[in-house]
Amino acid sequence: MARDDDYELRQSVPPERLSGRPYLKDEADELALHFDFRTVQSTMSKADPTALTLGYTRSMMGFLLLHPEPARIAMIGLGGGSLAKYCLQRLPGVDFTAVEIDPAVIALRDEFRLPPDGDNFRVVCADGADYIRAIEDSVDVLLIDGFCLDGLPRQLCTTAFYDYCYARLKPGGVMVVNLWAGDDLLQLYLGRLRQCFDGRVLLIDAQEEGNQIAFACKQEDFPPSLEQLRSRSNELAPAHPIDLPDTAARLRRALEGRRKQRGRGRSA
């Protein structure tokens, strides 16, 4: 929703950049997907189309520190397909399904050099909440990155949706949720997530201002040890140019904060 103090600025912006319809901004070395002129949904390096150029996407790949060898991944929210392209290139043999509600976003897949649908990759045009409720197959990792012009779609933040996500994860699975820190309902969503995943949730700040990434785990051995995070980041870093040691450090801080909070709760 535009604010009154944006009136003069809005008059100078083409109408399509205020409508919420996806459009491209083509720079010399980068292609960007926008829903409005203020926020970037996705970017692609023309020199390296599979690189993760936005910090929040690199942070979301921190699921590798919790589940290093996923066989099946599903993602809600296609955007420019950055996470899909990265996983298909860097995780040999992975099966990847991307679910996108907006046909206009899917229509831009060739611009972002997404591979065609095949045996191990497919793009499904559907509401993400409906898709998760309807599928019967289970996955190792769920990536939730479904944003619209107004932020997080409410159907992707309900207790029922999180319950279905938990049910669709295999034992040991991880759900990763990209959240907007400025959302007035953020704490409500996090409370629902913790309830559905029995408290097995870690929250870190993304590298961009404003994004936070939640890792919700269906793991009996949760939480991981600090040493496990450190050793996994060192093992995986040579194959993944996404600064996993930094993500591991943020996860360790989240773990330490969680333990202190639980300790205060027991002593109260």
Would you name the residues annotated as active-site residues? 145
φ, ψ for residue 11, nearest 5 deg: -65, -25
Question: How many residues are given for the chain?
Answer: 268
Tokens of 74: 């599903």
Q: Which amino acid is at 260?
A: K
**What are the CA-CA distances from residue 134 to residues 128, 139, 177, 201 (Å)?**
10, 14, 20, 25
Helix (H, G, I), strand (E, B) or coil at 33: strand
139-167 per-residue burial string, b: 16 or more CB within 10 A, e: under 16: bbbbbbbbbebeebbeebbeeebbbbbbe
Which two structure tokens, joined as six digits, stand for 118? 């095949």
Q: What is the spatial distance between Cα 180 and Cα 247, in angstroms, rounded to a whole number?
A: 18
